[in-house]
Amino acid sequence: MQELLEIKKMGRQSIPLEKKVSLVSTATVAGPKESLGPLTDYFDRRNSDNIIKENSFEKAEAHMLEESCFLSLGKVGLTPGDIDFFIAGDLLNQIISANICARKLAIPYFGIYGACSTLTEGMSLGTLLIEGGFAEHVLLGTSSHNSTAERQYRYPTEYGYQPPGYSQQTVTGAGAVVLGAGGKGPAVESITIGKVVDPGITDAFDLGSAMSAAAADTIYQHFMDTQRDPSYYDLILTGDLGAVGSKLTQEALANKKYHISSNYIDCGNLLYHSHQNTNAGGSGCATSALVFLGYIYHRMINNELKKVLLVTTGALHSPTTVMQGESIPAVAHALALEV
């Protein structure tokens, strides 16, 4: 057993893949503010209001997640019965949106919590299930909703206050991706699983800074493990660091002699126009889901981007521990994708 492990793991934190695990199909469902943003054309469904004819925001979030799951399956002619495992997670307590969605899909289910890093955490686990020969198709879904997350982590939606300039807007939306053994689409080339890093941030508005430490850590480790340098990738994409966090990540890596600024973008900086008043950009599970599964996936399919390093970052705090003065632990997972 020991020998088998030695062969497959690469460096301290990375796993190269031997089989071809592809992103067969993706689907995205966007909220109203995101639908007015610059990437609106890349979303499959655009909602004009926050509650989507449901009677609560929580139901609306679960509804968007369900829609994105069914859409991603339908695009390649699959049904829930064809899927071996369903992996999902979101930002809410007890990952309730994912659970409600899993109840409807009735696929063997792993509920995961990685905060905003859920996309790559789930894709990593799904990829490993397929790589290990335990599944042919794995469905991954993730969602977040401004009105459900804000009231859990911060203030009620109608409460009037001035958020600091470095705060981020929780993105409303959902995304799903079907991972398949073989098949068409961009393939996962290697995975780097991140450690939990905590630079000591205690301000719950300052998630970008907290997560930037984790992002820098994982990207650095990925380069170390794979012996690559930033120019290997056409694009290095982080999840939801926002304006502040993405700047800190670039500078932290530059301190380590990895200069990524020429081929680096952050999903949180892409989702909104500057006049949409989102301060430092978007955050939440749906940020990377909408940008990567919508926009970047589209560009990879069209061969505009060939090698992409996707790093989604999660701030793993709870409102209770933040109030108690505990600092914010953060994690980032990286997935190298190739067409």
Partner 1 sequence: MKKLQEEKKEQEYIAAGEQNTGDNEPVIDINWFNKRKDQVHPKPPLYRNIILAFVFGGIVSIIGQLFLDLFIWAGLPEQEAGNPTVAVIIFLAALITGFGVFDRIARIAGAGVAIPVTGFANSVTAMAIEFKREGLVQGTGSKMFTLAGSIIVFGVVTAFVIGLISAII
What character string, x for contact with partner 1 (CB under 8 A) and - otherwise, covers 220-239?
xx------------------
Residue from the set 79, 94, 157, 231 that interacts with partner 1 by CB under 8 A: 157
| Integer angstrom CA distances of residue 330 from 195, 317, 318 | 8, 8, 12
* Residue 145, H or E segment: none
The footprint of partner 1 on this chain (CB under 8 A) covers a number of residues equal to: 40
Residue from the set 3, 6, 48, 55 that interacts with partner 1 by CB under 8 A: 55
Stretch that binds partner 1, among 91-99, 138-146, 159-167, 184-192 (CB under 8 A): 159-167
CB 316 to partner 1: min, Å: 15
Stretch that binds partner 1, among 75-83, 89-97, 210-218, 262-270 (CB under 8 A): 210-218
CA distance 302 to 214: 31
Residue from the set 79, 231, 261, 277 that interacts with partner 1 by CB under 8 A: 277
What is the DSSP-derived secondary structure letter of residue 38?
Answer: T
Residue from the set 48, 162, 302, 320 that interacts with partner 1 by CB under 8 A: 162
CA distance 60 to 119: 20
Based on the shown chain and the rule CB under 8 A, indicate whether residue 94 belongs to the binding site for partner 1.
no
Specify the residue, 19 or 152, whose C-beta has the smaller distance to partner 1.
152
CA distance 50 to 93: 20
What is the DSSP-derived secondary structure letter of residue 115?
Answer: G
CB of 34 closer than 8 Å to CB of 173: yes
CA distance 302 to 297: 9
Based on the shown chain and the rule CB under 8 A, indicate whether residue 146 belongs to the binding site for partner 1.
no
CB 195 to partner 1: min, Å: 7
CB of 8 closer than 8 Å to CB of 15: yes
For the chain, give the number of residues.
Answer: 339
What character string, x for contact with partner 1 (CB under 8 A) and - otherwise, covers 238-257?
-----xx--xx--xx--xx-
CB of 233 closer than 8 Å to CB of 307: yes
Residue from the set 60, 197, 204, 308 that interacts with partner 1 by CB under 8 A: 197
Q: For residue 104, how far is the Cα from the chain centroid?
A: 22
CB of 31 closer than 8 Å to CB of 294: no
Residue from the set 108, 164, 182, 319 that interacts with partner 1 by CB under 8 A: 164
Q: For residue 315, how far is the Cα from the chain centroid?
A: 12
CB 49 to partner 1: min, Å: 12
Instruction: Using CB under 8 A, list all residues that contact partner 1.
Output: 12, 55-56, 151, 155-166, 195, 197, 199-201, 206, 209, 212-213, 216-217, 220-221, 243-244, 247-248, 251-252, 255-256, 277, 279-280
